Amino acid sequence: MIRFAHEEYLYLLLLIPVVIVLYWFLARARTSALSRFASVNILDRLAESASRVKRIVKFVFFVAAIVLLVVGLANPQIGTRMQEVKQEGVDLFIALDVSLSMKAEDLKPNRLEKAKLEIRNLIDRLTGDRIGLVVFAGEAYTQFPLTTDYSAAKLFLDVVDVDVVPNPGTSIGAAIERALDSFDFEEPSSKVIVIMTDGENTEGNAFDAAEDAAKKGLRLYTVGMGSPTGAPIPIYNSAGQQVDFKRDRGGSVVVTRLDEVSLEKIAAIGDGGYYRGTNTQDELDEIYNSINALQKREFGVKQFTDFEDRFQYFVVAALLLLVIELLISEKRIRWIARWNPLRREEGVQI
């Protein structure tokens, strides 16, 4: 397996076409300037010993050396052995509400962004536990399955917004069922679902789904995002300026309220706990401490080990090309020119 330790440096390769275009423009400008100085015949006599082909070859060597240096800077590495690494942990699915009501700003900057921040902090703390993410509104979708690739998990989390689920509404039951379908119940591991929502369930029966999960041995935790008093849902324009609040068909401002009663009941059915989201605390941190006390199972993860650096080969090759480029003279080689049929027939200089 090949990987790059610093793959961000590969973006420098985007400058190579710019260098080639710049070289072409400079060559044209040089030719134009010389043509104003003297006629083509006179210039050919004055520059009889110069080789255009060797000038181009030198430039090709220079560009190739730059490419090799950039690749070396990114430090390509080769994984020489696949090994099963033993880890232990619990299987944790987070069900994140992405309905429009999660844009209310009774939590800062809003309910959804506060929830994403807590999930990101939780991922940073995980050491061996597998985590997955279900996003839900009127329907539920798996954003990413159970994984120990925490970097990839955070990338998938970053793109979550209220438009990732096209169906409006809030179906907590569908989120629980989606997470249930994603667990492997043949594995003897502790399984947990954490539901982060404002609790305004408008679709399906969340309590029936919670009972099904409890029968299969899952623990359910709920985090209430919002306040019981409620808050309006701001509407922003493309410039990021608030222009209004969401209104119902009658023109009244919609106020979305936290339904703590339902979330407490779901957590009680799942033998877990309910936490209300606040601006000052990290509720998932408390849940993680509770999860750590659960029985963890050991599992093997196939990973490449013994990655070896290979940057030195590219750096040496680049330096060698640069040395060759310096040693190549722009003067044409007379004995090659004398026996070059192209020169006689087409006047090409070497």
Q: What is the CATH number of the domain that holds 262?
A: 3.40.50.410
Q: Could you list the residue range(s) of the whole structural domain that residue 42 is in?
A: 2-75+310-346
CB-CB contact of 125 with 285 (8 Å): yes
Position 49 scores a pLDDT of: 55
Q: What pLDDT is recorded for position 304?
A: 47
Which of 299, 318, 337 is where one domain is finished?
299
Do 208 and 146 lie in one domain? The reply is yes
Same domain, 117 and 264: yes
pLDDT for position 17: 92
80 inside domain: no
Domain match, 314 and 216 both: no
Q: Are residues 132 and 266 in the same domain?
A: yes
Strand ordering across the sheet containing 297-309: 2-4, 76-89, 297-309
Query: Same structural domain for residues 42 and 113?
Result: no
What pairs with residue 221 in β-bridges? 194, 273
Q: What share of the chain is helix, strand, coil (3-state, %, to 5)?
A: 45, 25, 30
Contact predicate 188/297, CB 8 Å = yes
List, edge to edge, every strand of the sheet that includes 140-147: 140-147, 130-136, 91-97, 191-197, 219-224, 273-276
Cβ atoms of residues 163 and 126 within 8 Å: no
Residues 35 and 142 in one domain: no
Does 269 reside within a domain?
yes
Q: Is residue 248 in some structural domain? A: yes
| 41 in any annotated domain | yes
- Residue 222, CA distances (Å) to 103, 219, 286 in order: 19, 10, 12
Give a yes or no: residue 304 inside a domain.
no
Query: What are the residues whose beta carbons fall under 8 Å from the beta carbon of 202, sequence distance 6 or more?
Result: 138, 169, 170, 171
284 located within any domain: yes
> Which string of DSSP letters, residue by residue, matches 260-306?
HHHHHHHHHHTT-EEEE--SS--HHHHHHHHHTTS--EEEEEEEEEE
With respect to residue 249, please indicate whether it lies within any of the assigned structural domains.
yes
Is 133 found in the same domain as 238? yes
Query: Are 277 and 326 found together in one domain?
Result: no
In this structure, are 148 and 217 located in the same domain? yes
Residue 191 lies in a domain: yes
Please count the structural domains in the chain. 2
273 and 339, same domain (yes or no): no
Task: For residues 225 and 334, state if they share a domain.
Answer: no
Do 220 and 152 reside in the same domain of the chain? yes
* Structure confidence at residue 150 (pLDDT): 93
Query: Would you give per-residue pLDDT tens digits along the chain (350 residues)?
Result: 677 888 888 889 999 999 899 988 888 887 776 666 655 555 555 555 556 777 888 889 999 999 999 999 998 887 655 555 555 678 999 999 999 999 999 999 999 999 999 999 999 988 878 999 999 999 999 999 999 899 999 999 999 999 999 888 899 999 999 999 999 888 777 899 999 999 877 666 899 999 999 999 999 999 999 999 999 999 999 888 999 999 988 999 999 999 999 999 999 999 999 999 999 889 999 898 888 877 565 555 555 455 678 888 899 999 999 998 888 876 655 544 555 554 444 444 44
